[in-house]
Every structure is written in structure tokens, then in C-alpha cells.
Amino acid sequence: MFAEAGQLLGCPNSLVQSPTFTIEARKEDLWFVASKEDANKPHSVKVSDTGRVTCDESCVRWARHNICSHTVAVAEKVEMLSKYFNGLGIGERQGR
């Protein structure tokens, strides 16, 4: 999973921030992350300034574990990885 997140981060087109979705009050950003399963259907990952990161319902790993390569990649991109992990209760880890 961390290797996958690293691949996503290494490919500039895999992570795209939606320019229109920033909700000022909630400080939440939407990112589109390339999906390995279906290149035409990127996953939508939301990240808030509290370190909460969510993937979408079609992501099996996210649905089961509340963590997936997409959320890890976005969290690292926005330098929220330690916050995100703290929120999950698994502590900070360097996975690459």
C-alpha cells in the first residue's frame, strides 16, 4: 500500500486537486486520485485541516480499513500524514 502511494506521488498526473471544491468554512479539499482498477474513474479523496482523510465508497480497501493508497498519497502530498495516522491511532510511520 505504501509502495502504491509512492507510485501515485511519483506520477504528477495521478493526484489532481479540485480547484473548485474548497469549502472555506470546513477547510476541506477534494483531490482526484488515479484508480488502478479503472483509469477513467479516479477516486475522490477529501482531506480536512484536522487530518481527516476520506476516500470514496468504491474503494474496497478504504471501506474495510479506513486507509488506502489514495488517502495515504494525498495525506503525504498535503503533509498531513502524521495527523492522519494519529487520527487512526496507529502513530506515525515512514512507509516509503
Q: Binding residues for Zn ion, per CB under 5 A?
A: 43, 55, 59, 62, 68, 70
Task: Please list, in sequence order, all residues whose beta carbon lies within 8 angstroms of the beta carbon of residue 66, skipping any fewer than 6 positions away.
Answer: 88
CA–CA dist 52, 7 (Å, integer):
22
CB-nearer residue toward Zn ion: 31 or 62: 62
Query: In the complex with Zn ion, which residue's Cβ is closer, 46 or 70?
Result: 70
Q: Which residue lies nearer to Zn ion by CB, 65 or 93?
A: 65
- For the bound state, the minimum distance from the C-beta of residue 67 to Zn ion, rounded and expressed in Å, comes to 9
Q: Is the dihedral of CA 1, 56, 12, 36 positive or negative?
A: positive
